[in-house]
Amino acid sequence: MFDLNTIASLCKRRGFIFQSSEIYGGLGSVWDYGPLGVELKNNVKRAWWNSSVYERDDIFGMDASILMHPRVWEASGHLESFADPFIKCPACEKFFRTDENIAAKKPCPNCGKPLPEKSMSANLMFETLCGPVKETAQKVFFRPETAQGMFVNFLNILSSKHPKLPFGLAQIGKAFRNEITTGNFIFRTREFEQMEIEYFVRPEEAQASYKRWVEERFNWYVKLGIKTENLRTRPHSKEELAHYASACSDIEYNFPFGWSELEGIASRTDFDLKQHSKVSGKDLRYFDDASKQKFYPYIIEPSGGVDRSVLAFLVDSYREEKVRKEKRVVLSLHKDLAPVKAAVFPLLRNRPEIVKLAKSIHEDIRGKYNSVYDDTASIGRLYRRQDEAGTLYCVTVDVDSLEDKKVTVRDRDTMRQDRIDISRVKKYIEDKL
């Protein structure tokens, strides 16, 4: 069994994820994605966009801005109640969320001294000023979720796309929360990305749609390689439900620090559209052609975190094994998620003809698939490097390649090596993918 530090150090070593502003000592709970990390993250987002937008006719994509009119947050309830209860240990000055099994009066989990009796609460939204002069600038917020950008564009979608219920909106974007307890690497951070769908349905269809979405979202993770035994659905109890929700389920992953939320699917009733109608004064009801009636659709919201998914895919694909008495670390990421599809090496980097041939194969592949050329170490080391990056195929050009016009292609998972014609390399990878 490995812990989160194993994953975090692999991420740093191979260029997946770095601490933000590290040379200045780092900024608390903010992370940067490096060359491999950005590819993995983009692949996760692409897989989500494909299944949520391109593979369906009933969901439209959109991209709303991060800064919104401050009254949005009045309507949504965030200004009033987007806060977590917390306590501060008077001895070690650490903060703890009191809804995370940390009860007041208990000893501090960090230093063991008694915690205070009363918890406090603070709004989690980041504030900033909009306008060049401080005195006249408007106080605005960095959105704590992407959802509101879809609710406030409901009328624009109705008038531009003329959709019929049920239909949805999908969006991927940054969100910001001034979290009290952070940590566990990229699990809970202050700046993160969400992938959210707002699915509008007739009120009488909400329950069935909610159930379908819980299943659909669970299966999305499985389809991308997460082991079923590491996933579970946890329905919220009545006490746990947010005031606007009639039902909610979390899809949880068995992280090294325990079962934790990966995504939440909420049945939000007609709360959001009603609230925005009330506060904006605009009629956000849907006109039903058949019954000639106007009503507020109900909303089902599958809301997942990009960064948490990235972490789950990394953890789930991490493997350590013994190969010829040596430790092999491999990320057996799903083929659609692997940051690099092929790596091309010359067996001898001091032979210009071999180097030239290897580079030309890499250039041929890279137009279609993400490919790297590497000649900076011995072949064994190059394989190990690519295994840790989750690279699917390693192509090696050797002395014989100059004569027989063949190369060796090694499969990441089986480590099987195939000798194939150079002219077939791209097709070979294409067929495998």
C-beta closer to ligand ATP: residue 269 or 303: 303
CB of 16 to ligand ATP, least distance (A): 16
C-beta closer to ligand ATP: residue 221 or 393: 221
The 10 Å CB-count burial string (b at 16+, else e) for 262-278 is bbbbbbbbbbbbebbbe
R_g of the chain computed on alpha carbons: 25
C-beta closer to ligand ATP: residue 77 or 163: 77
The helix/strand/coil state of 411 is strand
C-beta closer to ligand ATP: residue 42 or 178: 178
| Matching residue, tokens 């035994």 | 229
Helices (H), 50-183: 70-76, 78-81, 147-151, 154-161
* Contact residues: ligand ATP, CB under 6 A: 145, 177, 179, 188-189, 192, 194, 261-264, 303-305, 307-308
C-beta closer to ligand ATP: residue 303 or 370: 303
C-beta closer to ligand ATP: residue 33 or 286: 33
C-beta closer to ligand ATP: residue 190 or 385: 190
Q: Read off the amino acid at residue 217.
A: R
Q: Which of 139, 118, 302, 142 is nearest to 214 (CA)?
A: 302
Q: Which backbone phi and psi does 15 adopt, to 5 degrees?
A: 90, 35
CB of 214 to ligand ATP, least distance (A): 13
Q: Which backbone phi and psi does 67 adopt, to 5 degrees?
A: -90, 135
The 10 Å CB-count burial string (b at 16+, else e) for 367-385 is eebbbbbbbeeebeebbbb
The 10 Å CB-count burial string (b at 16+, else e) for 310-348 is bbbbbbbbbeeeeeeeeeebbbebbbebbbbbbbbbbbb
CB of 203 to ligand ATP, least distance (A): 22
CB of 92 to ligand ATP, least distance (A): 23
CB of 417 to ligand ATP, least distance (A): 40
CB of 372 to ligand ATP, least distance (A): 29
CB of 305 to ligand ATP, least distance (A): 2
- The answer to whether the beta carbons of residues 108 and 94 sit under 8 Å apart is yes
The helix/strand/coil state of 207 is helix
C-beta closer to ligand ATP: residue 216 or 364: 216
Cα separation values, 406 from 91, 240, 361, 364, 386, Å: 68, 62, 11, 15, 21
CB of 171 to ligand ATP, least distance (A): 12
CB of 73 to ligand ATP, least distance (A): 14
Q: Read off the amino acid at residue 51.
A: S
CA–CA distance, 11 with 33 (Å, rounded to integer): 9
CA–CA distance, 357 with 375 (Å, rounded to integer): 13
Q: Per the structure block, which two tokens stand in for 242?
A: 């947010």
Q: Per the structure block, which two tokens stand in for 367?
A: 């137009």
CB of 156 to ligand ATP, least distance (A): 24
Q: Using CB atoms, what's the residue nearest to ligand ATP?
A: 305
C-beta closer to ligand ATP: residue 307 or 388: 307
What is the 3 state secondary structure string of 310-352? HHHHHHHHEEEEEECCEEEEEECCCCCCCCCCEEEEECCCCCH
Q: Calculate the CA 253 to chain-centre distance.
A: 13
CA–CA distance, 208 with 117 (Å, rounded to integer): 43
C-beta closer to ligand ATP: residue 171 or 371: 171
CB of 125 to ligand ATP, least distance (A): 12
C-beta closer to ligand ATP: residue 261 or 288: 261
Q: Per the structure block, which two tokens stand in for 176?
A: 């910001």
